Amino acid sequence: MARPVSIAVCQFVIKPVASFDAWAQQVVGLLDQARGADLAIFPELFTLSLFTTLPDWQNRPVAELIQVDRYTQAYRDFFAAEARARGQHIVAGSHLEKRGDGYLNVSYVYGPNGLVHEHEKTHIFPAEANWSTGEGTRMEAFDLPFARVGINICYETEIPECAASLTEQGAEIILCPSFTFTEYGFWRVRHCAQSRCIENQIYYVHCATGGDMPPGPLPNGWTRSSIMSPCDTPWAAPNGVVVEAGTNVETVVQGTVDLDLLTLNRATGVAPTFRDRRRRADCYRAWPSHLTPKT
């Protein structure tokens, strides 16, 4: 019996905005296009466009991007209200916010009854250190009414253990808010996301931020968001792409994934990677320590 899950990928393009309300209306426009989906997802750090509400923002140093934290409560209240009003689960991208003595890159998932889960990015991209960003310490899968899922934020996708940890906890879908400043960076994350699908036999949702910014501290993003599956015969597309957005345009694309196909693929697939990548763990443990790369 099929277990379908419909997913709306909201490809957001950051641009200068006059106020939080103007930014929120941009989000609402995408959510309206995501009606009917079980889950809507936004990209990483798409709240950085709120930096443009600050006076003289174009002349501020990149280190001041953490100033978007002033909108944290408004951002959280907004998504909680939208998820409740729409009866929908929403991955609210991710946002830079102050926690303790520093700042973290945090992703939130809201449902009709409020906050469902939050994830603090555990592996920051080196450039994020310029924004005083620290790292979280937990990688946890969690249950939604229609699937068990986990979150990898952008660079975490390039670290295979992040997805493997979630899959070991039973995740069927990994949700990836992402923000890459160049096409090179985009394809690093995209190719790694496809690899995570294949080696774990899971679905992966890569939702990336686009950018249309004038000169200033805010980077432009490069995006072609997608939903991916393992490259195997249960799925129609040989390349493993369930659905894909256009390049660097603000849009919503919807796709449906069947969770039962994952079970079938693990049992009868041509490449049983989820089983086999664990079957010879003795070989990995025996890796000679003198061959380990030095940092």
Residues 168-227 have pLDDT tens digits of 999 999 999 999 999 999 999 999 999 999 999 999 999 999 998 998 898 899 999 999
Closest CA to 106 of 92, 90, 125, 116: 92
| Active-site choice (154, 162, 176, 192) | 154
Q: Which entry of 82, 121, 128, 156 is annotated as an active-site residue?
A: 121
- Over residues 43-83, the pLDDT tens digits come to 999 999 999 999 999 999 999 999 999 999 999 999 999 99
Mean pLDDT of 80-98: 98
Active site residue 44: yes
Structure tokens at 278: 């664990």
The residue type at 126: P
Q: Tell which residue, 133, 182, 174, has the closest CA to residue 157.
A: 174
Pair of tokens at residue 24: 């929120």
154 flagged as catalytic: yes
* 132 backbone φψ class: left, alpha, beta (φ>0; ψ -120 to 50): left
Hey, is 223 helix, strand or coil?
Answer: coil
Sequence-ordered list of residues with C-beta below 8 angstroms from that of 194, at least 6 positions apart, any chain: 204, 228, 231, 240
Per-chain mean pLDDT for the chain: 94
Cβ atoms 222, 183 nearer than 8 A: yes
Q: Is the pLDDT of residue 288 over 80?
A: no
Domain that holds residue 165: 4-291
CATH classification of the domain holding 255: 3.60.110.10
C-alpha pair distances (Å), 199 with each of 172, 192, 236: 13, 10, 19
Question: Which residue among 10, 44, 172, 207 is the active-site one?
Answer: 44
Mean pLDDT of 255-270: 94
Q: How many domains does the chain have?
A: 1
